[in-house]
Structure 1
């Protein structure tokens, strides 16, 4: 893959990376013959962002057909966002850089970024280490929903200004002729120090307002704010494609040279089928492409089968008390049982000599006490770790009662009465 991004389009590329970094820590890049796709997915799989950079976006875009496989018509790579994002942070990159070239060969561990500056014809080459190659497949299309709403980004920006920045979720009650926007759910308990806001939007305020069924959708505000900030920077229209609460919501922005899709998981807070306020995850599949794990030979497998694992016992006599006290319950009881069994065997073998018997008895009693103490504490407590109690604070507070008045703001020496003896200290 060899693609050149002209300086005029670097602002779009930098803004796209910033939006992707707010969603996930890893950046998936998928290069096909027609476009370059940048994908990010959050950890909970509730938000997925896809940027499609079309061939017309680049001044030069080449894909080697020999690198394409029969099963896939794209080239995949994965890179950490913290490595790739700092290269495109800065002010007025479109005025400083003439172009940026991305070079990547399939099944390679590096991606090469060449940045050509306008000043003195300086070319900076960055070789970035890639992560293990994986492909990300999202089972949701941007035009899957039956209802479609399109309006300008400025309208959504004014709408969000009416809500507080501390609001995490937004609820849309959609009917045939209007949309009711709330930062709360009807019937939900009131949060302290929060203001409930509600905005009515008529269908005439939208460029396209096609509603198939009336529904209520609740989703996170963070990806919605990110989408509006990107759209407002380039004066793009924002389209919402949805079906009903509980199904994914698609936030779509289109340009002649690129396309943006935000896939956000939603829920219906008033549905009986959903008793919790947790959004369902987006169907996503991560496929590992390169597996460099060596196969286990047949000789190693036979050796593992013939291995006698019962002979590998832990010598509990050498384990200190602190180690036993922080051990899990199941493994701790096994260690105690094995230790007691060894003690019984040792004492039975040394039964002929009285002196040895007394010595082993003392040692056996000592070991039993060592292992029985944490065992009783484990049986009586639900926690796995034993934390010693802190020392009790002194119960007497006479000193505070006697000398406490000396530190009060209303204290006066006259209240003490006649001074019978002067101070012994020089101060």
Structure 2
């Protein structure tokens, strides 16, 4: 297999590898006669990310027919560690490289990458050791499912902006008329310091809306954020294809030269009794349920015979009430004196000299003549 990626497409390839590295640690490479696929799985095998690059994506794409026949299933496969592959694509390679070349043969335990730089005709060669070869079999189609939601990348990005980065899951309650997006499930206990968010989306807000069966779908937000970020970089539309909650969700992005497909496991928190959400709901209900108080037979009989509507008051109760009420009435008639405002004291202290006389006869010295005017 030999294929050459032109420098103008290096940005797409670099962003694709960054998206794949957020999902899994191992990169599967599958070469067919018309496409090269890069695939990864997360550790729990609940998310599968696939990038298919068609012949038109490459400036040159050649697959040896003998290698395909030797593979037995018309697919050449190999696997490498993501950590040793990803550092090759750091920086703005679309501005630095003329091309990036893949070279691999089925009888080799190495895969060769050649990077041709624009300056000084430098060619850098990287040889990476392959892992034990495995073949993946994903039984979920990219565009299969009775229900489908289609929207632009900016639409889904605005939706994600309504939720916190700390949110791990997203729940879609889907009807033929609208979609209710929540970061929680009704009936489940609220986590401490969690802000519950709910967004109502009408069917007219989507580019395509095909719902044949109402359902609730709960899935992880991490792969969904990864897809939306990649789609927004290249202004791609996003299609969500699924049947019902509990079956895989397919997230699909299409371009004339490449295609992106994420398969995400889902659950319906209101019907899946094996899910952690359903368990949390049942436990919470058991804890919060009030325990009935035990009442003896004598107390129960007394409560039944008691006349709760009677308003009669005995003479002793009247006397006690008059004695207590009389003294309270006298106390209520006496209005306590308002405390003296400390402001006046403070004013005399601060402005005390303003109250002192400003004129004394002693300041004039000895009086030589008396006042001629009696006034």
Q: TM-score range by the shorter chain?
A: 0.7 to 0.9
State the match for 1:309 in structure 2: none
CA contact (8 A) 1:35 1:52 kept: yes
Deviation per CA, 1:210-238: give whole Å up to 9, x if none: 00100000000000000000000000000
Question: How far, CA to CA, are the matches of 1:146 and 1:30 in structure 2?
Answer: 29
**What corresponds to 2:285 in structure 1?**
none
Moved more, 264-273 or 186-195: 264-273
Residues 311-330 of structure 1 mapped to structure 2, 5 A cutoff: none
CA distance in 2, matches of 1:233, 1:273: 39
Q: Which residue of 1 aligns with 2:35?
A: 35
The alignment of Structure 1 onto Structure 2 pairs a total of residues equal to 277
Q: The residue matched to 2:137 in structure 1 has which SS?
A: strand
TM-score in terms of structure 1 length: 0.64
Contact 2:53 2:258 (C-alpha < 8 Å) held by counterparts:
yes
Matches within 5 A, 1:226-265: 226-265=226-265
Q: Please list, as runs of the form range in 1=range in 2, the aligned pairs for 1:194-205 lying within 5 A after superposition.
A: 194-205=194-205
Measured in 1, the distance between the counterparts of 2:40 and 2:203 equals 33
The answer to whether the 8 A contact 1:267-1:277 is kept is no
- Pairing of 1:224-303 with structure 2 (within 5 A): 224-271=224-271, 273-277=273-277
Following the alignment from structure 1 to structure 2, what is the Cα–Cα distance between the partners of residues 163 and 74? Answer: 41
Structure 1 distance, partners of 2:183, 2:277, is: 14
Query: What is the aligned partner in structure 1 of residue 88 from structure 2?
Result: 87
CA distance in 1, matches of 2:252, 2:120: 41
Is the partner of 1:225 in helix, strand or coil? helix
Given that 1:169 and 1:221 are in contact with CA atoms closer than 8 Å, whether structure 2 keeps it comes out as yes
- Gaps (5+ residues) in structure 2? 279-375
Query: Hey, what does 2:215 align to over in structure 1?
Result: 215
CA distance in 2, matches of 1:139, 1:237: 24
TM-superposed deviation, 1:182: 0.3
Measured in 2, the distance between the counterparts of 1:212 and 1:58 equals 39
Unaligned runs of 5+ in 1: 279-427
Residue 69 of structure 1: CA displacement? 2.4
In 2, Cα distance between the equivalents of 1:275 and 1:38?
31
Q: For residue 61 of structure 1, what is the aligned residue in structure 2?
A: 61
Is residue 80 of structure 2 the alignment partner of residue 101 of structure 1?
no
User: Contact 2:23/2:47 (CA < 8 Å) preserved in 1?
Assistant: yes
Residue 112 of structure 2: aligned partner: 112
Deviation by residue 1:183-216 (Cα, 9 ceiling, x = unmatched): 0000110111010000011100111000010000
SS at match of 2:88: helix
1:418: which partner in 2? none
Contact 2:97 2:115 (C-alpha < 8 Å) held by counterparts: yes
Assess, with a 3 A threshold, how the Cα gap between structure 1 residues 47 and 272 changes in structure 2: closer, same or farther: closer
Residue deviations 1:327-355 (CA, integer Å, cap 9, x gap): xxxxxxxxxxxxxxxxxxxxxxxxxxxxx
Q: CA RMSD in A?
A: 1.1
Please give the secondary structure, in 1, of the residue aligned with 2:120.
Answer: helix
Q: Could you tell me whether the CA contact under 8 Å between 1:268 and 1:274 is conserved in 2?
A: no
Provide the residue aligned with 2:343 in structure 1.
Answer: none
Cα separation, 2, equivalents of 1:260 and 1:66:
28
The structure having more radius of gyration, on CA atoms, is 2
Which deviations, in whole Å up to 9, do the C-alpha atoms of 1:287-339 show, x marking residues without a partner? xxxxxxxxxxxxxxxxxxxxxxxxxxxxxxxxxxxxxxxxxxxxxxxxxxxxx
- Are the equivalent residues in 2 in contact too, given 1:103–1:113 (CA < 8 A)? yes
Secondary structure of residue in 1 paired with 2:277: coil
Superposed CA offset, 1:116-168 (max 9, x none): 00011111011111111111111111122111111101011111111110000
**Equivalences for residues 167-206 of structure 1 within 5 A:** 167-206=167-206
Asked if 2 retains the 8 angstrom alpha-carbon contact of 1:236 and 1:255, the reply is: yes
Pair 1:252–1:121, CA change in 2 (3 A): same
Instruction: Using the TM superposition, give the Cα deviation of residue 272 of structure 1 relative to its aligned residue in structure 2, in angstroms.
Output: 5.2
Verify the 8 A CA contact 2:236 2:255 in the aligned structure 1.
yes
Alpha-carbon distance in structure 1 between the residues aligned to 2:265 and 2:90: 30
> Residue 26 and residue 73 in structure 1: after superposition, are their counterparts in 2 closer, same or farther (change >3 A)?
same
Q: Residue 154 of structure 1 corresponds to which residue in structure 2?
A: 154
The whole-number CA distance in structure 2 between the counterparts of 1:274 and 1:239 is: 28
The residue that corresponds to 1:124 in the other structure is 124
Contact between 2:267 and 2:275, CA under 8 Å: does it hold in 1?
no
